[in-house]
Amino acid sequence: MPDVNKAIEYARANKEKFLTDLQEFSAIPSVSTLDENKPDMQRAAEWVANQLRSIKMNNVQIMPTAGHPVVYGEWLGAGKNAPTIMIYGHYDVQPVDPIELWTSDPFNAVVRGDYLFGRGTSDMKGQVVASLKAVESIVSTGEAKVNIKWLIEGEEEIGSMHLDEFIIKNKELLACDFCLNPDAGMMGADKPTITTGLRGLAYFELKVFGPSKDLHSGLFGGTVHNPAQALIELVAGMHDKNGKITLPGFYDKVRKLSKKEREDFKRLPVTDKQLKEITGVPALWGEPQFIPAERVGARPTLEVNGLLSGFTGQGAKTVLPAYAMAKISCRLVPDQTPEQTEKQLRAYLKKNAPKTIKWELTLLNSSGAALVDSDSAGVQALAKAFETVWGKKPYFKREGGSIGSVVLLQKYVGADSLLTGFGLPDDNIHSPDEHLHLPTWYKGIEAFVHFFNNF
Amino acid sequence: MPDVNKAIEYARANKEKFLTDLQEFSAIPSVSTLDENKPDMQRAAEWVANQLRSIKMNNVQIMPTAGHPVVYGEWLGAGKNAPTIMIYGHYDVQPVDPIELWTSDPFNAVVRGDYLFGRGTSDMKGQVVASLKAVESIVSTGEAKVNIKWLIEGEEEIGSMHLDEFIIKNKELLACDFCLNPDAGMMGADKPTITTGLRGLAYFELKVFGPSKDLHSGLFGGTVHNPAQALIELVAGMHDKNGKITLPGFYDKVRKLSKKEREDFKRLPVTDKQLKEITGVPALWGEPQFIPAERVGARPTLEVNGLLSGFTGQGAKTVLPAYAMAKISCRLVPDQTPEQTEKQLRAYLKKNAPKTIKWELTLLNSSGAALVDSDSAGVQALAKAFETVWGKKPYFKREGGSIGSVVLLQKYVGADSLLTGFGLPDDNIHSPDEHLHLPTWYKGIEAFVHFFNNF
């Protein structure tokens, strides 16, 4: 009997134990944002470290950061010619408020029907345990074909605040061929999903200054350029009549979608009707030559995230404001960069801002776009594993947002992230009664066993 | 010796007494916005009523309103063929904070050099006393040629909150040919000024609704119309490239300026340099075919008074907002009306708002524009009086704002207001060390004596 069958057999035989381990992990209230849970953060890190040791990982360390520690472990026994895969996860969870809306204790995970209810069961202690148990199944019945590293952080729910420092400091330790990140979930219990792309971000604050103080709009209206008007004219001009972004050169580097990529997008099980229901808008909007999934996954945007000027309270105040502000952000796709985007925005403003006002632009936040090659060994191995377990080809999806760890690992370690996981869209993550669909979770463990075997 | 000379002689002989009376009036802390000064409001009203009785006015009443009372008085001895002039004023004053910045007690008005320092000395107890003393000078030395009514309110500094009810209820009592309102001041000690026009106002709140709640701009940006973007595109489109307002029919009723009116505007002693200094803007702005004074006085505007949408705090939040709001107001000139303007704005929105959002428009505040005929008997009489006293033609000016009492008296009594007064631009009204230029004030009393005599 080949090793993979033994490993699958092990996984099936140990379902109860796997669940008990997940319940034990979920019982630790590792809420990263609360000071009172600091000791629990340490306990959760130790729990992970002990698991890693129990599945024959070497060099297991709880590594301090300026915030919560990172758990590291490795098994490099497959040798230099085998690929090295890093598994990313996080052991921290969201707060449980409003606690009164929970049916049962969030930190005493219980099974009801097909589901395990408890904080972190889906996001993402369940996913971390699925990864651990897949590797446990392999190493308990044979030997892994690939080298494995683990990076399990404790600050994902608070924005991975210290992960950048940690990764920069430990570049060599973290060196790998690619990263498996099971924090992205799937589109439905029968819809195994691989997220191959994330958009980047360039987030700006644009300030427009007019008179030195707020003026009476009656006494000065008509002689002084209203900075709120100047601002909205500038920002409105950043799209043309057809919704195209007018920053000079904005689309120059945007990759054209291949026929295959467009087919993957088209296959995704998302309808316009669903999108309208989720968002509550009367009609969808966007570039008509692309379907919504393409617009979100593969097309750049320029959004107004915030506007502030003058009088915004109840009633009427006839002020001609001294100042107006817009928060503007661009979602970027390969091969756009935040640096280029800032240049393009500055060029636009220099060309279009009138002499009657002053403006100031600040780049507040930025990250590059990420895209994994669908033909890469990792994606192929994962797709094949999903086909083996679910009997169907997975969905290839791109997310419109960005994920801190993905950007950092790409930037400092040069490693692409394969985003996947076994959480479902209705798992109530970040909400009361978070739960995990256990049949899908068990399938997931088997899928990861196959994945590691597919190299 | 004709009566007017006697009256002027009386005024000159009684300078000391006039000043003492103004000091007595200014010593009453009639701050309308403070509850603790409620008894002082009554005392100030009684002071005015006693003055009116002392100068032979009849039917003197302190008339209650839902707020502070109005003082009324009349002398109708000139008969039905003579004009009836109503003198408008207010006995309330602004608070004195920050009190520590006053050189002397704001409610113990003292003379330093040519100035009387104290709260209300310029705005507008000094102007009320100037009117009282001009009439005193006339009635002490002869008889007035015109009928006189007085409306001295106690709520001007808090927005004339109950004046509308009062005027509506007392329409017949207040019937007059026109109103003399000395609350507008002059452009300089050597620049007697008559303000002949005020702009009207139509103040709106425009709300644009997108998704049913704030969305993640990464996950939905590109498929959902951002209401902040929709709002700014709609509002930006309310001006064309040349700054002209695009609401359909907006300029149809705007009166063309006559050659004489343009000459009056051109003569005004305001330079672009001064305007730039006052406002602190790098360059002035507005319709190039009009000078700034015309733009403020005789041209309508559409201003953005406030903007609010999405995230406006420090830093970056990648939100696609559910909602965006703009406060927008139009300054109106004869013969525009707020009602027409609202219709035009709704027509614009109906035509231009995309189907991807919902919008809601509310008219929050409105008032009509006011314009006094420069050839009217009142303006002519006042201009002649100013020429007699200052030896030069007065400036004819239009203000860009609106004044509650002017609008109400026009609307309910059908009386135009002649706006003038002897306050100077640097009198520190509403600020510490408010003061009155006494030589100008004495000239003003004489000018009003002549004014009443010029009919």
Cis status of the peptide bond prior to A98, with omega within 30 of 0: yes
Q: Cα distance from B183 to chain A (closest Cα, Å)?
A: 16
Within 8 A of B307 by CB-CB distance, chain A residues are 228, 231-232, 307-310, 312, 324
B320–A305 CB contact, under 8 Å: yes
Q: For residue range A230-271, what is the model confidence (pLDDT) as tens digits?
A: 999 999 999 998 889 999 999 999 999 999 999 999 999 989
User: Does A316 sit within 8 Å of B217, measured CB to CB?
Assistant: no
Task: Give the minimum alpha-carbon distance from A39 to chain B in angstroms, rounded to a whole number.
Answer: 30
pLDDT score at B219: 86
More confident of the two residues A366 and B381: B381
- Has residue A198 got a pLDDT over 90? yes
Same domain, B408 and B447: yes
pLDDT digits (tens, 9 = 90+) for B406-452: 999 999 999 999 999 999 999 999 899 999 999 999 999 999 999 99
Contact B129, B436 (CB under 8 A): no
For B362, the closest chain A residue by CA position comes to A315
* Beta strands B215-216; B319-320: pairing state: antiparallel
Question: Smallest Cβ distance to B281: which of A304, A315, A356?
Answer: A356
Residue A416 clears pLDDT 70, i.e. is over it: yes
Which of A186, A156, A192, A193 has its CA nearest to residue A425?
Answer: A186
Cβ-based contacts of A210 with chain B (< 8 Å): 281
| A145-164 burial: b if 16+ Cβ within 10 Å, else e | bbbbbbbbbbbbbbebbbbb
Mean pLDDT for chain A overall? 95
> B237 to chain A: which residues are within 8 Å by CB?
236
pLDDT at A428 over 60: yes
Q: Are residues B214 and B332 in the same domain?
A: yes
Can you tell me the mean pLDDT for B334-338?
A: 94
Give the gap in angstroms from C-alpha B241 to the nearest C-alpha of chain A: 10
Q: Number of residue pairs across A and B with CB atoms under 8 Å?
A: 278
Q: Which residues of B touch A222 (CB under 8 A)?
A: 286-287, 292, 295-296, 299, 301, 331, 400
Q: Chain B: nearest CA to A17, how far in angstroms? A: 37
A218: CATH: 3.30.70.360
d(CA B346, CA B361): 8
Residue of A nearest to B329 (CA): A318
Q: Are residues A164 and A208 in the same domain?
A: no
- Number of domain units in chain B: 2
Query: Do B40 and B173 lie in a common domain?
Result: yes
Q: For residue A151, what are its two tokens?
A: 């990076």
* Chain B CB contacts of A223 below 8 Å: 275, 279, 284-286, 292, 295-296
In a domain, A272, yes or no: no
| B345 and B228 co-located in one domain | yes
pLDDT at position B46 = 98
Per-residue model confidence as pLDDT tens digits over B134-153: 999 999 999 999 999 999 99
Q: Are both B90 and B132 inside the same structural domain?
A: yes
pTM exceeds 0.90, yes or no? no
pLDDT tens-place string over residues A168-195: 999 999 999 999 999 999 999 999 999 9
For residues B31 and B266, give the distance between their C-alpha atoms in angstroms, rounded to a whole number. 39
- What token pair was written down for A98? 């409003």
Kindly determine whether residue B236 and residue A239, on different chains, have CB atoms separated by under 8 Å: no
For B292, nearest residue in chain A (alpha carbons): A223
Same domain? B94 vs B204 = no
pLDDT digits (tens, 9 = 90+) for A203-232: 999 999 999 989 988 889 999 999 999 999
For the stretch A284-331, pLDDT in tens is 999 999 999 999 999 999 999 999 999 999 988 889 999 999 999 999
Contacts of B208 in chain A (CB under 8 A): none
Note whether residue B272 is domain-resident.
no
Q: What percent of chain B has pLDDT over 90?
A: 91
Instruction: Say if CB A303 and CB B320 are below 8 A apart.
Output: yes
- Residue B187 maps to which CATH number? 3.40.630.10
- Could you say which of B236, B281, B364 has the minimum Cβ distance to residue A232? B236
Look at residues A347, A366, A385 and tell me which one is the last residue of a structural domain. A366
pLDDT at position B2 is 67
Residue A1: band (very low, low, confident or very high) from pLDDT cuts 50, 70, 90 = low
DSSP character at residue A75: E
CA-wise closest residue to A134 among A375, A373, A377, A389: A389
Contact assignment for B222 to A321 by CB distance below 8 Å: no
Residue of A nearest to B237 (CA): A233
Judge if the upstream peptide bond of residue B124 is cis by omega within 30 degrees of 0.
yes
Residues of chain B found within 8 Å of residue A357, distances taken between Cβ atoms: 281-282
Q: Where are any strands of DSSP class E within B122-233?
A: 147-153, 178-181, 193-198, 200-209, 215-216
Residue range B209-215: mean pLDDT, rounded: 93
**Contact criterion met (CB below 8 Å) for B231 and A304:** no
Tokens representing A152 are 């399990």
Q: What is the DSSP string of A120-182?
A: TTTTTHHHHHHHHHHHHHHHTTS--SSEEEEEEES-GGGT-TTHHHHHHHTTTTT--SEEEET
Compute the mean pLDDT over every residue in chain B, rounded to the nearest whole number: 95
Cβ of A223 within 8 Å of Cβ of B321? The answer is: no
Q: What does the pLDDT average to over B341-351? A: 98
pLDDT of A2 reads: 67
Distance from first CA to last CA of chain B, Å, rounded? 18
Please indicate, yes or no, whether residues B62 and B161 belong to a single structural domain of this protein. Answer: yes
Q: Is the pLDDT of residue B212 over 70?
A: yes
Range B387-416 average pLDDT: 93
Task: Collect all residues of chain B within an 8 Å Cβ-Cβ radius of residue A237.
Answer: 236
Residue in B206, B207, B209, B229 to test binding to A, most A beta-carbons within 10 Å: B229
Kindly state whether residue A82 falls inside one of the protein's structural domains: yes
My answer on whether B362 and B425 are in the same domain is no
In a domain, B26, yes or no: yes
Q: In terms of residue numbers, what domain contains A350? A: 200-254+300-366
Residues B154/B69, Cβ–Cβ less than 8 Å: yes
Other beta carbons less than 10 A from residue A354's beta carbon: 15
ipTM of the complex: 0.86
B61: β partners: B72
